[in-house]
Structure 1
């Protein structure tokens, strides 16, 4: 966060039916109140996790982090002591970077789902200039990445344990170590705070972006790249903080609170053309300020680049206004406001089934009432409306083999087993008395779609751990 399908969609607690056409629309993801900003979604062991400024999500009490079990949100142990900002599944554990509001040390937290235990990775992170109670200038952690087999963390710190490490560090399996001299300073005209905010890996380079003047003593102005031994600038950088970076179709994009790079005018979103930062054909804004516009999160998903942040006005390269709010999609040629977008700000996004799940702080999506999260789903013409049929599944919970009891007179069927992310994990044809193997599947909730010549059924299946 900046400073300051159809039957399978039953997984989200709703049914969307369509026949003979394809479209996209906003729908609620879950019921129940969510009382704070959702900052990040991440996938870990086949489940969706959310973190942010909430203590209740989808009507469920959860301290700043929660797991979607396929039907409802559930707490992750005792949760986090402070608001979560970034998550990464790495070497079998979910790692979480969080905010810290005190001068005392912050830690990178690790959820060991196999034993349902939280632990802290390495020594504490400190900021020697911390101002407790201030909205920033405390040792918050913002970004996580995997680079060359190591876990990388970035944030607002200048010391880890007793070691001087500024803004970015790598976990060597035993302790945190620096990447050269790290980051220092801040972009002139912005907040007088050094903080890297986003990272992405591409073609052997680790890119990092945020609000910093130098990287390894090289002037970079908010964005730099690391080749494993040295930092270097990426063009002229920017005149404001960079909140998000992403690789889309092999090209680097950035978003933030900037309006210029060198002599090039920008509208809070930029594209690197190999030699300079240029406007990718879109400018965002607010109709009135404050609040001030920003692009926070950029994600490349299924051929589209999504930009999330705070804005309610969007203008393309031809001067055309695009109805928008907090989110945009780019297909490589055109920018899409996604049915008017959101009534509020967004920062979290993740693929879900045939669409995307979006989170933030908004109460409507495309005019539909929601609770800080919503699905943008694609209704596929390959799924048709059919009559519901009576199918029994057993045993349930299941460990290694699932059996079906089909309606009288039905000898076989087609089936698809979906995980909690809406992704198919088993599919094929089934005949009476033959099992469907669930061996090797992670424990958790799944959905089984069964289709015969007379109708369709969707059944919830719980897969347990093999004894």
Structure 2
């Protein structure tokens, strides 16, 4: 399947395929979203493409739909969400919506919005959907307007999610830059230390675990060391700087893929970072992804990578840049493990310096949001569907592979479509299973010896099972369903 798709792309490129919209297509019917679109999210539960930003209206033909910063598309029609998350003032601009995600099956929204909960109490930045009331509700406790929490992270599933931002208080706890969100409770982060609470400028962006170790990004001052840091991890007793990260430049997104920790943002090798806008880490060493990403003007230390997305085994990056691996790639690029490819298109932006904000996959197709009005002359109004064709690809580069553990078989067949994990005592990890198309069909944290992998309801075919242990060791095996 993959080789056939690649051959088709090569044939199209070889014949000099021309014409408008050969790389990206608009969503039909076209919805005119007057302002920025920050996020697209493919929701498999509602089977809708959710779109969020600061747009007050979606204009579809002669109809104007009041959206209050969020809309959804079912493949044929546009509509507002069943209930608005926040409220809008005058004009066509609303407070920004930044993220949608599902946590424990429940849809969550994160942004700069304000809404009144069922008790008429003002709540900021966070909301979750209540299927019983068919409306939005606050998280377990109010996030007050004077609080500092603004971000719900990470953007990929983990057992513990985090509310992060500047110093603030939640649920009556002492002020902090990070609180843990587990199940239906919010509690202080268990990794409290002066570095997270010193001064009003301390800030946490991302909080997550990699190889079982807590990591945080942001800007922190360590009063014991007398230094600022932007990327730290918990060593079991205290926070320490992540080895090899020698810059205060901001990280904009993180992703764990194939045993590696990927980061992107506004950082460059010239400033002491281990890569240009994007790099990866195995817990010990950093590695560049070729020459990374660069902007053409005004200088190579301009531009930013904003979003990382994994799909069909490849890494997709969105942001504001002009080159990936030394070849032209405007605002969107793909890393296939050894080379960069641009996703194609010439952009016309709503404002100078516009950018692509992020990706999502819905119904097995890739979608992108951003500040663009047109691509290759086609009007798209901030949301586009990729047609699967790349424009330019760099020469392959040699990269270090993540260590694989090929010990004795660890996935033992049981009934048809079921297997049992056979692991050494005490080994715990995160289990993920993909189908032959690269789609994630199962994820289980804290998988351990005796855990049953059940694919009885899955379609027949070949599946890849991969277990990443807390210590970073990786086990992978193919299973036939």
Same structural fold, with TM-score higher than 0.5 when normalized by the shorter chain: yes
Matched, 1:36 2:35: yes
Contact 2:52 2:98 in 1 (8 A): yes
Rounded Cα–Cα distance in structure 2 between residues aligned with 1:57 and 1:214:
47
Of 63, 87, 92, the match for 2:100: 87
Structure 1 equivalent of residue 279 of structure 2? 270
The residue that corresponds to 1:63 in the other structure is 68
2:217 corresponding residue in structure 1: 209
Asked if structure 2 preserves the Cα contact closer than 8 Å seen for 1:239 and 1:261, the reply is no
2:460 aligns with: none
Partners of 2:84 and 2:201 in 1: CA distance = 28
Conserved in 2, the CA contact under 8 Å of 1:101 and 1:140? no
Partner in structure 2 of residue 181 of structure 1: 192
Provide the rounded CA distance (Å) in 2 between the counterparts of 1:79 and 1:32.
Answer: 18
**1:124 shift after superposition:** 3.0
Partner Cα separation in structure 1 for residue 313 and residue 346 of structure 2:
19
What is the rounded CA distance, in whole Å, between the counterparts of 1:55 and 1:115 in structure 2? Answer: 24
Q: Tell me what 2:170 maps to.
A: 160
The separation in 2 between residues aligned to 1:229 and 1:61, in whole angstroms, is 51
Query: Once the 2 structures are TM-superposed, how far is the Cα of residue 330 of structure 1 from its aligned partner?
Result: 0.7
Match of 1:25 among 23, 34, 47: 23
Shift of 1:71: 1.8
Q: Quote the residue 1:52 is aligned against.
A: 53
CA distance in 1: counterparts of 2:112 and 2:223, whole angstroms:
23
Is the aligned partner of 1:72 residue 2:77?
A: yes
- Distance in 1 (CA, whole Å) between partners of 2:366 and 2:379 is 17
Aligned to 1:370: 380
Matched, 1:120 2:138: yes
- Mapping 1:91-240, distance limit 5 Å: 91-99=104-112, 106-125=124-143, 139-141=149-151, 143-144=153-154, 149-173=159-183, 175-179=185-189, 180-181=191-192, 184=196, 193-199=201-207, 201-213=209-221, 221-225=229-233, 231-237=239-245, 238-240=247-249
When residues 227 and 49 of structure 1 are mapped into structure 2, their CA distance, relative to the original with a 3 A threshold, is: farther
Q: Which residue of 2 aligns with 1:361?
A: 371
Q: By how many angstroms is 1:73 displaced?
A: 2.7
Assess if the C-alpha contact under 8 Å between 1:146 and 1:152 holds in 2: no
Check 1:87–1:167 CA distance in 2 against 1; reply closer, same or farther (3 A cut).
farther
| Corresponding residue of 1:12 | none
- TM normalised by structure 1 equals 0.63
Cα distance change, pair 197–66 in 1 and its aligned pair in 2 (3 A): farther
Where 1:140 maps in the other structure, the secondary structure is strand
Distance 1:341 1:243, change over 3 A: farther
Deviation, structure 1 residue 105: 5.9
How far apart are the structure 2 equivalents of 1:215 and 1:201? 24
Q: Distance in 1 between matches of 2:157 and 2:83?
A: 30
Question: TM-score, normalised on structure 2?
Answer: 0.61
TM-superposed CA distance for 1:213, in Å, is: 4.5
- Contact 1:88–1:144 (Cα < 8 Å) also in 2: no
Maintained 8 Å contact 1:213/1:222: no
SS in 2 for 1:305: strand
Cα deviation code 1:141-160 (max 9, x no counterpart): 35345776344222334211
Structure 1 CA distance, aligned partners of 2:276 and 2:114?
Answer: 31
The 2-side partners of 1:100 and 1:272 are apart by 34
Is the alpha carbon distance of 1:97 and 1:349 closer, same or farther for their aligned partners in structure 2, counting shifts above 3 Å?
same
* Secondary structure of residue in 1 paired with 2:264: strand
Per-residue deviation, residues 253-299 of structure 1 (Å, max 9, x unmatched): 21112224985563222222543434322132242379941111111
Give me the whole-angstrom Cα distance separating, in 2, the residues matched to 1:333 and 1:167: 37
Q: Deviations over 1:61-116 (max 9, x none)?
A: 211222222322322234222322122212332111222699x8625201124541
1:97, 1:144 within 8 Å by CA — same for their partners in 2? Answer: no
Match of 1:248 among 231, 237, 257: 257
SS in 2 for 1:79: coil
Deviation at 1:139, TM superposition (A): 4.7
Task: Evaluate the alpha carbon distance shift between residue 174 and residue 283 of structure 1 in structure 2; reply closer, same or farther with a 3 A threshold.
Answer: closer
Q: 1:156-179 CA deviation, whole Å, 9 max, x = no partner?
A: 342114322422212344542121
Partners of 2:132 and 2:27 in 1: CA distance: 27
Shift of residue 314 of structure 1? 1.4
Residues 20/259 of structure 1: CA separation in 2 closer, same or farther (3 Å cut): closer
Aligned pair in 2 of structure 1 residues 22, 204: CA closer, same or farther (>3 Å)? farther
Tell me how large the CA RMSD over aligned residues is: 4.1
The count of corresponding residues between Structure 1 and Structure 2 is 348
Contact map agreement 2:152 2:161 (CA 8 A) in 1: no
Q: CA deviation at 1:375?
A: 0.7
Match of 1:435 in 2: none
Q: CA deviation at 1:202?
A: 4.1
